[in-house]
Structure formats: structure tokens, C-alpha cells
Structure 1
């Protein structure tokens, strides 16, 4: 799971740079201001959680492995995919009902942070 966390964090960071640049350059004149803001939010959250995945992977390498770290990894990876992914599709397509999926990703991200906090507080 350590390797997965590090790989997913690196991949999300890489894709975040690409999608951030794509949004700033290729989509800037094509999206309305509110859809640009949605795209920007997706990129921000993707970067935050790319870094979170890298932190989880590094903490696991330092000996903080366990069920909590596995839960944090899965929740950060899936939560980012659902949260940011739904916002990217919403911004690109303008299909507003996709915003209803976004909170599922947000809940997973919250659970991921709680799972990361748990072994720290417990020790």
C-alpha cells in the first residue's frame, strides 16, 4: 500500500499540473467564469491530496503502517478521483447534475484525513 500511495500521489501531481495548465490556457477562453472556478477547485483539491498521498506513503515507510494508513490511502485516492473528477467533467461539459456526485468524493477525503489523524492521536 505504501508503493501505491507514493505512485498515486505522484500521478495525481503530474496530472494536476497538466490539467491546471490545460485549464489556464486551452479552456480559459472557452469556459465561463463560474466553470473556470470549478475547474480551479478541482485542480486545487487534486494537488492537496496528491501531497497527502505522498505524506501517507512516507509515513508508512517510517513505520506508521496499518489499517488506518490503508484507509487513508484508499479514501484519498478514490475521494480525489470522485471529487476532482466530477468537477472536471462538470466544468468541461456544463452538466450541472454531476455536482451531486462531488460530495461523495468530499466525504471520502474527510474520512481519509480522519484515518490519518487516528494513529497520530492514538500514539
Structure 2
């Protein structure tokens, strides 16, 4: 078995408004050190981003009998980055009935992530 490969990954932190330039030293798939962060959120963000990246997904779904034709939606929590395409595809054919309130769950367990899709806008019945 060969030796693990060391490498450095450069990131810009999105954990807080500072936007620090981070360097993550890796030994194979193990994080050895994070540098460049000015707060603890930077280290937490860097470790998560290189070991298990996740994202909040935003999109729209069609609305039936609403005052507008679509409603903006988002994942209630972040989902694995690898599931983003499946999430977007799962929303492609979704149509919901008005009225809709902010926070209403419109799709449960999207793309088998365990995360719900919620409305981010109120839609009134026409």
C-alpha cells in the first residue's frame, strides 16, 4: 500500500462576512491543518467543504390557481452537493395549489435526502 498523498486546497470562506482566504492541508482524505481563518467558523467551513460539501438549493415550482404562476422555494437545510442535480430534477414537474404560505413544505424528502422543500414566498389564491 502506498503513502497517502499530501496536498493543499485553497478556499474562500463563506462562514462569515470576512471572506478569508483559507488553505487546507490534507494528508489523503484527512484534514491536517486549516490556516488563514480569522474566526472558528472558517475552520469549520473548510473541514466540511473538503470532507462533506453541502449546499442550500433554491429554485421555483409551478403554482396552480395562484396570483402568480410560480413560487420560490429552497431546501429547508443544506443537502449533499452530489444531490443537487437530483433535487433540481425532482422539482421540475412539481405543481402546487394556491394558497401557499412562507415555510409550507411543498416536497418532503426531496431526492431521498431527508430534507424538505419549503416555500419562500406567500402565494394567494386567485
TM tier, smaller: under 0.3
TM-score, normalising length from structure 2?
A: 0.25
The structure with the largest alpha-carbon Rg is 2
RCO higher in structure (CA 8 A, sep ≥6): 1
More helix by proportion, 1 or 2?
A: 1
Instruction: Report the TM-score when normalising by structure 1.
Output: 0.26
